[in-house]
Amino acid sequence: MSRIRLLPEILASQVAAGEVIERPASVVKELVENSIDAGARKIEVSIRRGGISLIRVVDDGCGMDRDDALLSLERHATSKIRTAADLAAIATLGFRGEALPSIASVSRFRLTTREPDAVAGTEIIVAGGKIETVRDGGEAPGTQIEVRSIFYNLPARRKFLRSENTESRNLEHQLHLQATGHPEIAFVFVRDERVAFQLPAAPSLADRIRDLHGKELVDRLLAVEERNDSTVRIRGLIGQAGVSRQTRAQQLVFVNGRAVENAVLTAALREGYHTALMKGQFPVTFLFVDLDPGAVDVNVHPAKREVRFRDPNGVREAIVGAVRRTLESGRHQWQQQFRAPAVPVAGIADPGPVTAPAPVSIEPGSTIPATTEALPSLHVQPNESLVSHWEPPPSAAATSRSQQFQIIGVLNKLYVLMENQDGLVLVDQHAAHERILFEELRRRMEEQGVPSQRLLLAQTFELAPRDAEWVERNAATLQKMGIGIEPFGQNAFKIDSLPTFLDVADPVTFMRKVIDGLKSASNGSSAMRLGEEMIAKTVCRHAVKANDPLRYLEVEKLVTDLLQCDLPYCCPHGRPTMIQISLTELEKKFGRKV
């Protein structure tokens, strides 16, 4: 080993840059954060070739005088903190005084800045960390920073850049984050001389999200109810149950205005959504967590992407509670739609003969809840037996008036057709039944008692050794669910009771299906560590019988029970239980309205 030496300033900056500036998106992040900290009302970002050839960020913030402009390029020079106490309670996005020197050391860099009432501004040109020019300059008040040829002097780093498209996408995602975090600031994004988006300062988060992602998404979001009784304030918009994505790209959480990733937050969202999310899917959230800056450490990640909470449990509880309450209130809002139409449906009063319709293809455009996947179109063939109308019992006509829904019939022995104020509602009997059973089972388990019914004859069955081992390990959970199963010799089991509300014809076949279901749900290997929740979901799935024609009263009860569920609009696996086709949509389909 050679002697220890102090690194030259530029080299030290390049080393620091290695951590902070990974790619063009990191430059945009740091520069936009600076503009936000500078109180900008409008930020314009232009890039060329994925940001590799140029990134320009122009703001109308407070600007800098010449001394500050020169200082801003020094390492550890910041206007944002002064003392150790400041570091413990950071209220700005930046605080390390590292970004500008880091960026300037790995690019061709130009800064022009002017304070609002200054006569002249300053222009500084830097190449690879060396200041080349300092002169009067600067046009409008504010700051403009140009970063060209990123990593031009660090070929090793340059090699790690991805394609222009990928870099551009990363960069745009970063801008989306900043724009979502600060709806009050106008953003313009110009990519390769074309305006990619232009976001006016928005009066609310919902407006900003609409401008970014469209009205359709906003319509499926619920406003988080704010509460003032806690040290953690949660606000924002989150997807209603059933709205989900395959990636985390729209699972945004801002802690004191900063977009962060944090395991506590992710787990809390998951817990809050509980059964409203399908396995492997991610919720859509634009959640803002505000707490005392002293209660969160933002100085834990070079790119300030992560945070650490002083009281992770408090944060978790606040988020879980907020998400649950929001989803719950979403359910109430949504139940309102189930008011019966003003005029009773003719089909109920007078079922009459069902005439075969001409072939129709209905493509439901909007759904409750709308899922990410497009819904398959529904092809109704001319088939008289398909839509079964049936005469409700005499009392039903009277009771239906007080109900919130009006049943029309059942399609293909599976879909319940209902009319509500908005139009047509289709309920997937199967999914609905699963949801009802699941909530029932979960509630009973929480109350420590699933009523079970003894079978007339206890039955024994044998399992493959692996499956047998699984059942043995999970016997306690199964017992808790009211499934009376116990070992009965080598790889054999005896089942002597089942929960009363599961209407299972053949207990042994049922158990085998449940075990198979669980095996596939867990990819086999981790089958030993399945949670109660997963077991309950699987039990319910297999307890539901396919295409079982129901009588009117049963359908009515199914719908009533469904509406009383915590999360009625999706099954425990996250598939929708119902779809709404509004009258407006029907009018459009029939060309009555454009």
Across 226-314, the runs of DSSP E, i.e. the strands, are 233-239, 244-245, 251-255, 258-259, 282-283, 285-290, 296-297, 308-309
Report if residue 96 touches ligand ADP, rule: CB under 6 A.
yes
* Beta carbon of residue 184, minimum distance to ligand ADP (angstroms, whole number): 17
Region 16-35 residues binding ligand ADP, contact defined as CB under 6 A? 30, 34-35
- Beta strand 221-223 pairing with 233-239: antiparallel
Q: Compute how many other C-beta atoms are within 10 angstroms of the C-beta atom of residue 310.
A: 12
Across 381-491, the runs of DSSP E, i.e. the strands, are 387-388, 406-411, 415-420, 423-428, 452-462, 484-487
Q: Which is nearer to Mg ion, 101 or 330 (CB)?
A: 101
Among 16, 55, 64, 99, binds Mg ion (CB under 5 A): 99
* Beta carbon of residue 152, minimum distance to Mg ion (angstroms, whole number): 22
Q: Name the nearest CA neighbour of 514 among 565, 550, 477.
A: 477
Among 63, 94, 128, 183, binds Mg ion (CB under 5 A): 94
* Beta carbon of residue 35, minimum distance to ligand ADP (angstroms, whole number): 5
Distance between CA 252 and CA 419 in Å, rounded?
37
Among 24, 50, 61, 129, binds ligand ADP (CB under 6 A): 61
Report if residue 368 touches Mg ion, rule: CB under 5 A.
no
Distance between CA 106 and CA 15 in Å, rounded?
10
Is cis: bond before 487, omega within 30 of 0? no
- Beta strand 186-191 pairing with 42-48: parallel
Report if residue 97 touches ligand ADP, rule: CB under 6 A.
yes
Query: Total binding residues for Mg ion by CB under 5 A?
Result: 3
Stretch that binds ligand ADP, among 8-16, 54-62, 348-356, 359-367 (CB under 6 A): 54-62
Stretch that binds Mg ion, among 16-24, 29-37, 267-275, 284-292 (CB under 5 A): 29-37
Residue 96 binds: one of ligand ADP, Mg ion, none (C-beta under 5 to 8 A by kind): ligand ADP
Among 95, 187, 470, 493, binds ligand ADP (CB under 6 A): 95
Q: Which is nearer to ligand ADP, 100 or 518 (CB)?
A: 100
Report if residue 64 touches ligand ADP, rule: CB under 6 A.
yes
Distance between CA 254 and CA 260 in Å, rounded?
6
Distance between CA 311 and CA 291 in Å, rounded?
11
* Cross-strand partners of 255: 258, 289
Among 13, 26, 34, 113, binds Mg ion (CB under 5 A): 34
Judge whether 239 and 285 are in contact, CB under 8 Å.
yes
Report if residue 98 touches ligand ADP, rule: CB under 6 A.
yes
Region 196-235 residues binding Mg ion, contact defined as CB under 5 A? none
Judge whether 340 and 420 are in contact, CB under 8 Å.
yes
Stretch that binds Mg ion, among 33-41, 50-58, 258-266, 545-553 (CB under 5 A): 33-41
Report if residue 113 touches Mg ion, rule: CB under 5 A.
no
**Phi and psi torsions of 41, nearest 5°:** -100, -20
DSSP state of 565: S
Residue 573 binds: one of ligand ADP, Mg ion, none (C-beta under 5 to 8 A by kind): none
Per-residue interface string for the shown chain with ligand ADP, residues 129-168, x marking contact by CB under 6 A:
--------------x-------------------------
Judge whether 467 and 519 are in contact, CB under 8 Å.
yes
Please give the structure tokens belonging to residue 156. 């090793």
* Contacts to ligand ADP by CB under 6 A: 30, 34-35, 38, 59, 61-64, 72, 77-80, 94-100, 143
